[in-house]
């Protein structure tokens, strides 16, 4: 997917069962592997069912919001239920999320002129037949940066576009960094930057917005009121293979082919996408109510879903990961920088590493997650094939090494627990969010292992915290209630981690700062990094360095998977992430009823 | 009576003001804010800070409360932070769904409960009475969410007789297909909730019928040779309805309270589910309005019950 896939904050996607079976033997083998699962499925036989309805489930426990305009969406549910409309997607991408030609528009980066020229294809039209124009490419930037916007997308990276900062603060009424070689109704937009970044070549980067918005249709609606406007909620237009036929607010959307779509003619006559609660999703597939689902199916349901006849499980690595973070300092609100405190309780690298070596997450995930989630080895998930370092060992269980690391750092046992090198007692507070019974069992296992190591680790507040409380505590500029925490990020399709772990990143909740970290992350987007192999090297080096420092340690990767009914043709889960319109325009059905 | 009703309504005003204050303060005291839940690696905290400022969420609570009251008197209930549309629009959408389900449940509760209560009372300590009482005890003992889960599993997923989620089919077009689809969607949750919520009606009615059966006026009527059927219709039934009337007001206003369990399990987007999500997402504007509405409905329920009781029972006068 070329856009941001949001963090449902607090959704640590761990799910497993009881942990009693997790032994204490050393497991020095390689990090766990995901379940073998195909990423595509295509029913054999002619597409005889194309005149029927493709039924898609949106697994979610709340109604979707109903915002169809991609630039205003801040959640995965709206993206999913409006995705047959193409999610206003501007560019095609390859499997590495690199922007390629052939989509609604092509882009040409010019490093010397510091420009990006975006050219729309000649047959680019909205689903009402009107032309997609250069102004439609520019309008999302106005929506994002407008001072009255309800969008949360504006970030400092946009200030690389000339005139963007002035528009954002209200000093200018237009953004000077956009020019229209063929006029606003033409097919070309040139974006002028103050500096060029290698990330610009990839979808989901934070410099170039990857969707369009129908300016002519929206221009009379104040930007502050766009999210509630009928043009966005009731009568939206789309650029993708299907157009909205009807919708029931918060419940379902219904789609028919869009004859103005620029790509190959969509094959299925009718598509419905309906919200189904996570508790009922497996039963819904058992009773053949849906062909496939949009959000990933729960990992705990893997065996049940696999056993359903007439379906095939299809999945790809998710654009997300779970991680442990350690509180090492504070965020200086005056300077806007993270600062590591010299005497931070978790400041000793050996202590952090020892805590990680004490956990046998490989065995835990192998045993309990059915391969749908597995022990992560780096902070770059494997969905980023070219940047993910599969050989990086990560932290594998080794209790004796954990003990020796503590002793080497001067920690001594006094009775049951280790005390600090200065002799003071050591109580470590572990902050986690409430989740499924399974994830809470994993937290208990982690406590058990740390106790076995001899560390007095306790839950902050004595139990897992409600999500809002967790983030309120963690995001305070300075806090001492959480020493180690477990959380998760869903990522954009451009993996530069600066906004999570940079010195000035407010989401660097552990406040880890080092010159080398800053340098490695800067290297990912310096001018040399236009050379792909150099950039890959920087990503590899950063993953290695972060593992060594153990300030943030990955704990979980997962698959995004779904059962697919055996009547569906050309289902490509990877295409879902990469080029949404193609995902939908390829789909076909071999029969009018589910198999 | 009208004077009293007017006075009761006047008393509601300070009650609602106090309620709104309490809710407002408690909502603000909850940890978190409406925007944190949607942060992502590209989120800009400065933008979130900006949105908090624009929405006045950094203002002291009394200032926020005052702004809210001023907007309220201008007919503006605010905008939902989560759904990004006016709270009134949300309430209309969800309220309509809840109304359909709620009315269906109330009607079914009385349709099932009244005959069962009378029948059990009339056949006191006979087999039908034992069966009906056993039914009420069982329905009272089993938690509603268990019933709903088993119900959806058997009737919707197993037998495929009912839809499993939503309030209407995505393919329902036209007036009658839409009406039919709505009924089809509320039929299973509505019936299950109604079947397992009749205990009060049945038990109150049964005991009232038994009491009435042994009362002097019934004995007199029987002595005069009035047929039992007539006695039940004209004497026992009306008198036995008094306790039912006492909570009829709550039943009517409670229609809009929402059925949280049914709405969650059947993914039915009503007021109950909206309230639950609003709390999870710290959607302050929605929380405040919903609690006020629920509070108002409760107060109205009390008043309505008193009025109904006064109408049904000539001995009772609202003074």
Task: Summarize pLDDT for B40-90 with one digit per residue, the tens.
Answer: 666 667 777 777 887 788 888 888 888 888 888 888 888 888 888 899 999
Helix, coil or strand: residue A202: strand
Rounded Cα–Cα distance for residues A73 and A144 (Å): 11
Closest Cα in chain B, distance from residue A455 (Å): 30
Q: What is the pTM of this model?
A: 0.85
Per-domain residue ranges of chain A = 41-87+240-310+566-589, 92-215, 319-558
Fold entry, domain A41-87+240-310+566-589: D-Maltodextrin-Binding Protein; domain 2 (3.40.190)
B267 contacts in chain A (CB < 8 Å): 61, 63, 251, 275-277, 280
Q: What is the pLDDT of residue A289?
A: 92
Put simply, the answer to whether B35 touches A507 (Cβ < 8 Å) is no
Put simply, the answer to whether B45 touches A276 (Cβ < 8 Å) is no
pLDDT at A369 over 90: no
| Under 8 Å between Cβ of A359 and A376 | no
Put simply, the answer to whether B41 touches A7 (Cβ < 8 Å) is yes
pLDDT at B231 over 90: no
Residues 63-122 of A with CB under 8 A from B: 63, 65-67, 72, 74-75
| pLDDT-wise least confident of A213-217, A227-231, A279-283 | A279-283
Angle (nearest 5°) at CA B222 between B217 and B225: 130
Half-sphere exposure of A548 (CA within 13 A, CB side): 9
Q: What is the pLDDT of residue B40?
A: 63
Put simply, the answer to whether A62 touches B273 (Cβ < 8 Å) is yes
| pLDDT-wise least confident of A175-179, A296-300, A560-564 | A296-300
DSSP state of B233: I
Q: Which of B170, B185, B281 to mutate to test the interface with A (most CBs of A within 10 A)?
A: B170
Strands (E), A234-387: 242-248, 252-257, 270-276, 292-293, 311-317, 320-326, 329-332, 337-340, 373-375
Q: What is the pLDDT of residue A32?
A: 55
Closest Cα in chain A, distance from residue B281 (Å): 8
Q: What is the pLDDT of residue A5?
A: 32
Phi and psi for A65 in degrees, rounded to 5?
Answer: -75, -35
- Give A147-198 pLDDT, tens digit per residue: 888 887 888 889 999 999 999 989 999 999 999 999 999 999 999 999 999 9
pLDDT at A27 over 60: no
Rounded Cα–Cα distance for residues A367 and B70 (Å): 58
Rounded Cα–Cα distance for residues A569 and A595 (Å): 13
A4 contacts in chain B (CB < 8 Å): 40-42
Helix extents (H) in A201-265: 215-218, 230-233
Rounded Cα–Cα distance for residues A32 and B204 (Å): 62
The predicted model gives B194-215 an average pLDDT of 90
Put simply, the answer to whether A250 touches B45 (Cβ < 8 Å) is no
Please report, for residues A145, A293, B90, the alpha-carbon distance to residue A253 in angstroms, rounded to integers and kept in the order given: 30, 14, 18
Q: What is the pLDDT of residue A14?
A: 28
pLDDT band per the 50, 70, 90 thresholds, residue B91: very high
A284 contacts in chain B (CB < 8 Å): 157, 164-165
Pairing mode of beta strands A552-565, A373-375: antiparallel
Helix, coil or strand: residue A75: coil
Residues 336-365 of A with CB under 8 A from B: none
Closest Cα in chain A, distance from residue B195 (Å): 22
- Give B249-260 pLDDT, tens digit per residue: 777 777 777 688
The predicted model gives A47-76 an average pLDDT of 91
B31 contacts in chain A (CB < 8 Å): 466, 468-469, 472-473
Name which of A249, A286, A491 is nearest B93 (Cβ-Cβ). A249
CA proximity to A431, closest of A368, A475, A389: A475
Rounded Cα–Cα distance for residues A290 and A273 (Å): 9
| Chain B residue nearest residue A476, CA to CA | B32
B279 contacts in chain A (CB < 8 Å): none
Closest Cα in chain A, distance from residue B294 (Å): 21
- Higher local confidence (pLDDT), A90 or A15: A90
B165 contacts in chain A (CB < 8 Å): 251, 274-277, 280, 284
Put simply, the answer to whether A287 touches B160 (Cβ < 8 Å) is yes
Rounded Cα–Cα distance for residues A224 and A243 (Å): 26
Name which of A7, A228, A472 is nearest B85 (Cβ-Cβ). A228
- A333 vs B: CB within 8 A: no
Closest Cα in chain A, distance from residue B112 (Å): 29
Pairing mode of beta strands A115-120, A178-179: unpaired
Burial B172-205 (b: 16+ CB within 10 A, else e): beeeeeeeebbebbbbbbbbbbbbbbbbbbbbbb
- Higher local confidence (pLDDT), A121 or A12: A121
Please give the helix or strand (H or E) that residue A418 lies within, else none. Answer: strand A417-419
pLDDT band per the 50, 70, 90 thresholds, residue B174: confident
Q: What is the pLDDT of residue B316?
A: 66
Rounded Cα–Cα distance for residues B203 and B117 (Å): 6
B277 contacts in chain A (CB < 8 Å): 62-63
Q: What is the pLDDT of residue A25?
A: 38
Q: Is the ipTM of this complex over 0.90?
A: no
A507 contacts in chain B (CB < 8 Å): 39, 41, 43, 45
B145 contacts in chain A (CB < 8 Å): none
Report CA dihedral (A334, A336, A337, A339) to the nearest 10 degrees.
40
Q: What is the pLDDT of residue B115?
A: 92
Name which of A74, A227, A473 is nearest B38 (Cβ-Cβ). A74
- A286 vs B: CB within 8 A: yes
Rounded Cα–Cα distance for residues B259 and B167 (Å): 13
Put simply, the answer to whether A152 touches B47 (Cβ < 8 Å) is yes
Put simply, the answer to whether A274 touches B282 (Cβ < 8 Å) is no
The predicted model gives A403-418 an average pLDDT of 94
pLDDT band per the 50, 70, 90 thresholds, residue B9: confident
Put simply, the answer to whether A6 touches B165 (Cβ < 8 Å) is no
Q: Which of A4, A63, A322 to mutate to test the interface with B (most CBs of B within 10 A)?
A: A63
Put simply, the answer to whether A153 touches B47 (Cβ < 8 Å) is yes
B158 contacts in chain A (CB < 8 Å): 287
Name which of A75, A152, A283 is nearest B43 (Cβ-Cβ). A152
| Under 8 Å between Cβ of B309 and B245 | yes
A506 contacts in chain B (CB < 8 Å): 45
Q: Which of A274, A431, A468 to mutate to test the interface with B (most CBs of B within 10 A)?
A: A468
Put simply, the answer to whether B51 touches A152 (Cβ < 8 Å) is yes
Put simply, the answer to whether A280 touches B84 (Cβ < 8 Å) is no
The predicted model gives A550-567 an average pLDDT of 95
Residues 242-271 of A with CB under 8 A from B: 246-254, 270
Put simply, the answer to whether A251 touches B269 (Cβ < 8 Å) is yes
Put simply, the answer to whether B42 touches A492 (Cβ < 8 Å) is yes
Put simply, the answer to whether B40 touches A490 (Cβ < 8 Å) is yes
Put simply, the answer to whether B41 touches A279 (Cβ < 8 Å) is no
| Chain A residue nearest residue B148, CA to CA | A280
pLDDT band per the 50, 70, 90 thresholds, residue B108: very high
DSSP state of B154: I
Q: What is the pLDDT of residue A7?
A: 35
Please report, for residues A377, A397, A444, A454, A459, the alpha-carbon distance to residue A402 in angstroms, rounded to integers and kept in the order given: 18, 9, 19, 10, 21
| Chain A residue nearest residue B157, CA to CA | A287
Q: What is the pLDDT of residue B318?
A: 57
Strands (E), A42-135: 53-59, 92-93, 99-100, 105-110, 115-120
Give the architecture-level CATH label for domain A92-215. Answer: Alpha-Beta Complex (3.90)
Tokens 């856009």 -> residue: A3
Q: Which CATH number fits domain A319-558: 3.50.50.60, 3.40.50.1820, 3.10.105.10, 3.30.1360.30?
A: 3.10.105.10
pLDDT at A344 over 80: yes
- Sign of the torsion angle spanned by Cα atoms B99, B103, B104, B109: positive
pLDDT at A447 over 90: yes
Closest Cα in chain A, distance from residue B141 (Å): 23
Rounded Cα–Cα distance for residues B57 and B282 (Å): 12
Cα distance from N-terminal residue to C-terminal residue, chain B: 6
Percentage of residues in chain B with pLDDT exceeding 70?
95
The predicted model gives B142-151 an average pLDDT of 92
Closest Cα in chain B, distance from residue A387 (Å): 18
- Give A460-474 pLDDT, tens digit per residue: 999 999 888 898 899
A504 contacts in chain B (CB < 8 Å): none
DSSP state of A174: S
Q: What is the pLDDT of residue A336?
A: 85
Rounded Cα–Cα distance for residues A331 and A511 (Å): 7
Q: What is the pLDDT of residue A52?
A: 93
Q: What is the pLDDT of residue A33?
A: 66
Put simply, the answer to whether A475 touches B93 (Cβ < 8 Å) is no
pLDDT at A21 over 70: no
């Amino acid at each position: 997917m070329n856009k941001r896939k949001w963090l449902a904050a607090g959704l640590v996607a761990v799910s497993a069962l009881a942990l009693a079976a997790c032994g204490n033997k050393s497991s020095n083998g390689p990090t766990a592997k995901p379940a073998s699962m195909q990423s595509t499925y295509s029913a054999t036989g002619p597409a005889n069912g194309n005149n029927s309805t493709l039924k898609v489930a949106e697994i979610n426990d709340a109604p979707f919001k109903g915002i169809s305009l991609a630039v205003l969406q801040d959640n995965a549910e709206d993206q999913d239920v409006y995705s047959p409309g193409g999610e206003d997607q501007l560019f095609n991408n390859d499997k590495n999320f690199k922007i390629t030609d052939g989509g609604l528009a092509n882009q040409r980066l010019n490093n010397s002129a510091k420009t990006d020229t975006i050219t729309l294809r000649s047959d680019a039209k909205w689903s009402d037949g009107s032309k997609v124009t250069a102004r439609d490419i520019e309008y999302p930037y106005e929506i994002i940066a407008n001072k009255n916007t309800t969008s949360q997308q504006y970030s400092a990276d946009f200030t690389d576009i000339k005139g963007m900062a002035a528009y954002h603060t209200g000093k200018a009424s237009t953004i000077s960094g956009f020019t229209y070689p063929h006029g606003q109704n033409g097919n070309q937009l040139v974006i002028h930057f103050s500096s060029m970044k290698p990330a610009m070549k990839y979808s989901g980067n934070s410099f170039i917005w990857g969707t369009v918005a129908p300016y002519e249709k929206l221009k009379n609606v104040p930007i502050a009121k766009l999210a509630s406007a009928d043009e966005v909620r009731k009568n939206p237009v789309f650029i993708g293979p299907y157009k909205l036929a009807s919708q029931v607010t918060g419940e379902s959307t219904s789609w028919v082919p869009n004859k103005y779509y620029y790509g190959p003619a969509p094959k299925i006559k009718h598509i419905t996408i309906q919200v189904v609660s996570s508790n009922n999703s497996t039963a819904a597939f058992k009773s053949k109510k849906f062909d496939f689902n949009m959000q990933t199916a729960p990992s705990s349901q893997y065996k049940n879903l696999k056993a359903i006849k007439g379906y095939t499980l299809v999945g790809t690595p998710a654009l997300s990961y779970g991680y442990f973070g350690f509180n090492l300092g504070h965020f200086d609100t005056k300077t806007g920088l993270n600062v590591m405190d010299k005497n931070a309780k978790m400041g000793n690298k050996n202590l952090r590493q020892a805590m990680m070596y004490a956990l046998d997450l490989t065995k835990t995930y192998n045993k309990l997650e059915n391969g749908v989630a597995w022990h992560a080895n780096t902070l770059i998930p494997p969905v980023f094939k070219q940047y993910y370092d599969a050989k990086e060992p990560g932290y594998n269980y080794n209790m004796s090494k954990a003990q020796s690391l503590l002793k080497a750092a001067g920690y001594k046992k006094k009775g049951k627990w280790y005390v600090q090198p200065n002799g003071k007692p050591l109580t470590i507070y572990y902050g986690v969010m409430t989740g499924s019974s399974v994830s809470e069992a994993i937290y208990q296992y982690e406590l058990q292992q740390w106790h076995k190591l001899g560390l007095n680790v306790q839950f902050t507040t004595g139990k897992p915290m409600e999500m809002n409380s967790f983030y309120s505590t963690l995001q305070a500029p300075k806090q001492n209630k959480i020493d180690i925490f477990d959380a998760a990020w869903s990522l954009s399709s451009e993996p530069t981690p600066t906004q999570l772990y940079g010195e000035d990143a407010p989401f660097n909740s552990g406040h880890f700062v080092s010159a080398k970290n800053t340098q490695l992350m800067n290297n990912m987007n310096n001018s040399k990094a236009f050379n792909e192999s150099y950039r890959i090297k920087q990503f590899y080096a950063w993953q290695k360095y972060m593992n060594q420092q153990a300030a943030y340690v990955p704990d979980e990767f997962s698959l995004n998977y779904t059962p697919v009914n055996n009547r569906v043709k050309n289902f490509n889960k990877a295409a879902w992430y990469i080029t949404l319109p193609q995902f939908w325009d390829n789909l076909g059905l071999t029969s009018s009823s589910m198999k | 009576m009208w004077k009293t009703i007017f006075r009761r309504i006047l008393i509601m005003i300070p009650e609602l003001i106090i309620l709104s204050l309490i809710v407002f303060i408690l909502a603000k005291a909850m940890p978190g804010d409406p925007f944190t839940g949607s942060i992502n690696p590209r989120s800009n905290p400065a933008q979130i800070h900006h949105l908090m400022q624009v929405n006045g969420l950094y203002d002291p609570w009394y200032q926020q409360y005052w702004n809210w009251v001023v907007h309220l008197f201008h007919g503006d209930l605010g905008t939902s932070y989560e759904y990004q549309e006016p709270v009134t629009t949300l309430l209309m959408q969800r309220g309509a769904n809840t109304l359909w389900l709620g009315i269906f449940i109330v009607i079914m509760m009385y349709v099932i409960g009244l005959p069962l209560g009378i029948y059990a009372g009339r056949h006191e300590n006979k087999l039908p009475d034992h069966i009906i009482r056993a039914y009420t005890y069982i329905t009272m003992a089993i938690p509603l969410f268990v019933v709903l889960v088993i119900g959806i599993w058997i009737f919707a997923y197993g037998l495929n007789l009912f839809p499993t989620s939503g309030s209407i089919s995505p393919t329902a077009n036209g007036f009658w297909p839409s009406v039919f689809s709505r009924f089809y969607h509320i039929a299973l949750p509505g019936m299950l909730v109604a079947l397992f919520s009749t205990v009060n009606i049945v038990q109150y009615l049964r005991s009232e019928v038994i009491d009435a059966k042994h009362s002097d006026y019934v004995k007199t009527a029987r002595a005069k040779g009035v047929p039992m059927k007539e006695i039940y219709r004209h004497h026992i039934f009306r008198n036995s309805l008094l306790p039912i009337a006492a909570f009829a007001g709550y039943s009517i206003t409670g229609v809009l309270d929402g059925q949280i369990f049914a709405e969650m399990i059947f993914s039915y987007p009503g007021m109950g589910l909206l309230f639950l999500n609003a709390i999870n997402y710290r959607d302050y504007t929605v929380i405040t309005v919903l609690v006020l509405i629920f509070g108002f409905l409760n107060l109205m329920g009390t008043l309505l019950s008193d009025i109904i009781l006064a109408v049904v029972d000539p001995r009772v006068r609202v003074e």
